[in-house]
Chain A
Amino acid sequence: MSRAKEQIFFTSFIWLVMLAALFIAKDWPVRASIIILLLGSIDVVLALIQLRLDFIAARAEGAKILRPTFEVQAIEHQGRWGSLEIWAWLWGLFFAIHLIGFLVALP
């Protein structure tokens, strides 16, 4: 899957999270939900605009982006598995802590 298509999935995910937050918060009293409804609605609209931009970018894939970037760009991982190797180590550590670490440490 191309990077542009992956972006569409990620933006869709964020949009769905926002939508779910609004759906859950709508039944709460105003004092608990006002900020969520106010800003969440703005975010849902913004996410839709971003989705549209992602679709445009996906269609024009291959075009060079010439805008300056102020955050250091992530390194493109090489090889078949990309960054999966380090992720595997991290998840391995996570499960090892749960399966061995906690069992040994807890009384």
Chain B
Amino acid sequence: MLEAALEGLTGVLQPEAFMFMCLGVGIGSLVGFLPGIGGPSTLALMLPFVMTMKDPLLVIALLVGMDAVGNTASAFTSILISVPGSTGSQATILDGHPMAKNGEGARALSASFVASLLGGIFGALVLFASLPVLRPLVLSFSSPEFFILTLWGVSMVGILSGNAPIKGLLAGILGVLISTVGLDAKSGIERFSFNVAYFWEGIDLVLVALGIFAIPEVIDLAGRKGAIAKAEAFGSGYVQGIKDVFIHWWLLIRTSIIGVWVGFLPGLGSSVADWFAYAHAVQTEKNRENFGKGDVRGVIASEGSNNAKEGGDYIPTLAFGIPGGTSSALVLTAFIAVGIKPGPDMLTSQLNLTFAVIWTLVIANIIAAAICMIFAKPIAKICFMPFYVIVPPVVAFVFIGAFAANFHAYDLTGLMIFSSLGFFMRRYGWPRAPLVLGMVLGDKMELYLWLSYTRYGFDWLARPTVIILILLLIASIVYPIFTARKRHVETPLSEA
């Protein structure tokens, strides 16, 4: 294992890989402090370009680097203009913006950067520590267990990523059905291709991801015209913010653990991690009357957890091939395209690549925190870039990226169709992450089901691990729906 760890480190420190990591950190940070363009949209934008790369280390350096730091830079907008730069920094506003109003913007920012850095490193350490535990577990699994796990992944993401479990499940299954479009290799049947040769290869995930995420974000961003809040002054207390994190080190560790746990569970993304961590801080800390009025502990809790989440997110992604959320689903797609095989291989023959991911998480967090701390003032000015400067280049990149999927005119038609679907899903509160995850896992699900049947007939349903996983699957579907329904019934009663 030590050898693989060293191989992973030397791999990501190669000049080319390191350059790509810096590029990823730069793009991830830029996206973080430009409100409106989310991390998944940018990852979707990068997919068509990344998929042409041959070296898996470069892909890891670029995409994991980008994914790891999105929540670090997003603290700028959350604290200074009360607009979350990413979904993971919403809770930061609660105390970060009041601090900025009180003239302590610099203190809030430095506390958030250091908390993000340490939280991110904590997440990577947990990923590292989980490897010896995961290895025997994953190697004992066969196609039936993996089939149930893929089902579990889609259902968990469907149920948990949003406030509407049924809509989430519907979206997840819709994603699986979209993944079935094309020529079926097992039977030779053309599925949903309507005699159009374009569909034989299936619908490219790049089109779906760009349409579902990027265009609705662009439309949303365009709708912000004139709506950007007044910026607060940078303020003072830069060094005090750094000290604050070390004073409240125990809070940081607790909230980082929450972040890792939330990341590990498929479906709960960084948008949940920061709220859970913030709620935990408010419930457990002494002298809680200042929370919501500008307490630095609120910033530390939120920012520590959202970066720690990334390490937890990669545990199921790498070990089982079940992504924890949208970003990891897109990263997983790029991994598969360049020959990285998530699953048992990542813990055996490709262990060096798993370590490359861990090292990238650590180094990217250090670079991002350093950039944000050194260039805090100039970066703060970029946050206020008007929408008409951002939207046109993003739209151009989206169209170029979509056309690069197959270099076919239908790519653009597909983009517009999925953009419309994404727009309406967002408008009517349908979670979009399950659809992408369903598409990513759809092929695997079908393959594992077929392998299970051909190898074991129906006997695979009687395997003890399968039974346990099925029970967990049922519990994970029924429990959230039951509690959501209970809450739905209780709310009108309490209102009455």
Partners in one complex: yes
| B415 CB → nearest A CB, Å | 8
Q: Of B177, B219, B269, B484, which one neighbours A36 at CB under 8 angstroms?
A: B177
Per the bound structure, the CA–CA distance linking A6 and B161 in Å amounts to 22
| B94 CB → nearest A CB, Å | 14
With a cutoff of 8 Å between Cβ atoms, the chain A residues found around residue B218 in the complex are: 86
- Interface hits, B460-496 → A, CB 8 Å: 484, 487-488, 491-492
Residue B426 at the chain A interface, CB threshold 8 Å: yes
- Interface hits, A36-56 → B, CB 8 Å: 36, 39-40, 42-43, 46-47, 49-50, 53
Per the bound structure, the CA–CA distance linking A10 and B426 in Å amounts to 12
| A51 CB → nearest B CB, Å | 10
**Residue from the set A7, A34, A90 with the largest chain B CB neighbour count within 10 Å:** A90
Q: Of A3, A14, A24, A98, which one neighbours B170 at CB under 8 angstroms?
A: A14
Interface digits, B217-230 against A, CB 8 Å rule (1 contact, 0 not)?
A: 01110111001000
Other 18 A-B pairs with CB < 8 A, given A10-B424, A35-B449 = A14-B174, A31-B187, A31-B450, A32-B184, A34-B446, A35-B176, A35-B442, A35-B446, A42-B173, A46-B170, A46-B173, A70-B269, A71-B162, A72-B84, A75-B227, A86-B219, A97-B412, A102-B409
Per the bound structure, the CA–CA distance linking A77 and B462 in Å amounts to 54
| B403 CB → nearest A CB, Å | 8
User: Are B180's CB and A36's CB within 8 A?
Assistant: yes
Interface digits, A86-99 against B, CB 8 Å rule (1 contact, 0 not)?
A: 11011101100110
Interfacial residues, chain B to chain A (CB-CB below 8 A): 84, 87, 90, 161-163, 166-167, 169-170, 173-174, 176-177, 180, 184, 186-187, 189, 191-192, 215-216, 218-220, 222-224, 227, 269, 271-272, 275, 391, 395, 399, 409, 412, 416, 419, 423-424, 426-432, 442, 445-446, 449-450, 484, 487-488, 491-492
Residue A66 at the chain B interface, CB threshold 8 Å: yes
Give the number of chain A interface residues (Cβ < 8 Å): 52
| A13 CB → nearest B CB, Å | 9
Q: Of A53, A77, A85, A93, which one neighbours B395 at CB under 8 angstroms?
A: A93
With a cutoff of 8 Å between Cβ atoms, the chain B residues found around residue A62 in the complex are: none
User: Are A75's CB and B223's CB within 8 A?
Assistant: yes
Closest residue of chain B to A83, judged by CB? B219
Per the bound structure, the CA–CA distance linking A18 and B271 in Å amounts to 30
With a cutoff of 8 Å between Cβ atoms, the chain B residues found around residue A72 in the complex are: 84, 87, 90, 271
Per the bound structure, the CA–CA distance linking A59 and B206 in Å amounts to 39
User: Are A97's CB and B173's CB within 8 A?
Assistant: no
15 cross-chain CB contacts under 8 A? A10-B428, A21-B177, A28-B189, A29-B187, A43-B169, A43-B173, A49-B166, A50-B166, A70-B163, A70-B271, A74-B426, A75-B220, A75-B227, A90-B215, A98-B409
User: Are A83's CB and B222's CB within 8 A?
Assistant: yes
With a cutoff of 8 Å between Cβ atoms, the chain B residues found around residue A76 in the complex are: 223
User: Are B184's CB and A77's CB within 8 A?
Assistant: no
Per the bound structure, the CA–CA distance linking A73 and B163 in Å amounts to 11
User: Are B189's CB and A29's CB within 8 A?
Assistant: yes
Q: Of B90, B223, B449, B492, which one neighbours A86 at CB under 8 angstroms?
A: B223
Per the bound structure, the CA–CA distance linking A90 and B399 in Å amounts to 10
Q: Of A71, A74, A77, A78, which one neighbours B161 at CB under 8 angstroms?
A: A71
With a cutoff of 8 Å between Cβ atoms, the chain A residues found around residue B450 in the complex are: 31, 34
User: Are A50's CB and B431's CB within 8 A?
Assistant: no
| B270 CB → nearest A CB, Å | 10
**Residue from the set A21, A72, A83 with the largest chain B CB neighbour count within 10 Å:** A72
Per the bound structure, the CA–CA distance linking A97 and B159 in Å amounts to 39
User: Are A90's CB and B426's CB within 8 A?
Assistant: no
User: Are B227's CB and A94's CB within 8 A?
Assistant: no
Closest residue of chain A to B391, judged by CB? A86
| A37 CB → nearest B CB, Å | 11
| A19 CB → nearest B CB, Å | 12
A-B pairs, top 7 by smallest CB distance, nearest first, are A32-B187, A32-B189, A86-B222, A43-B173, A75-B223, A77-B223, A32-B184
User: Are A34's CB and B431's CB within 8 A?
Assistant: no
Closest residue of chain A to B419, judged by CB? A90
| A73 CB → nearest B CB, Å | 8
| A91 CB → nearest B CB, Å | 7
Residue A80 at the chain B interface, CB threshold 8 Å: no
Beyond A74-B220, A94-B412, whether A34 also contacts B449 by CB under 8 A is yes
Interface digits, A3-26 against B, CB 8 Å rule (1 contact, 0 not)?
A: 100110010001001100100110
Per the bound structure, the CA–CA distance linking A75 and B217 in Å amounts to 10
User: Are A18's CB and B177's CB within 8 A?
Assistant: yes
Beyond A35-B446, A72-B90, whether A66 also contacts B491 by CB under 8 A is yes
Per the bound structure, the CA–CA distance linking A18 and B430 in Å amounts to 16
With a cutoff of 8 Å between Cβ atoms, the chain B residues found around residue A89 in the complex are: 395
| A34 CB → nearest B CB, Å | 7
| A21 CB → nearest B CB, Å | 6
Residue A69 at the chain B interface, CB threshold 8 Å: yes
Per the bound structure, the CA–CA distance linking A88 and B416 in Å amounts to 12
| B447 CB → nearest A CB, Å | 10
With a cutoff of 8 Å between Cβ atoms, the chain B residues found around residue A102 in the complex are: 409
Per the bound structure, the CA–CA distance linking A16 and B368 in Å amounts to 47
Per the bound structure, the CA–CA distance linking A10 and B429 in Å amounts to 11
Per the bound structure, the CA–CA distance linking A57 and B417 in Å amounts to 27
Per the bound structure, the CA–CA distance linking A63 and B161 in Å amounts to 23
Per the bound structure, the CA–CA distance linking A76 and B180 in Å amounts to 35
Q: Of B163, B169, B191, B428, which one neighbours A69 at CB under 8 angstroms?
A: B163
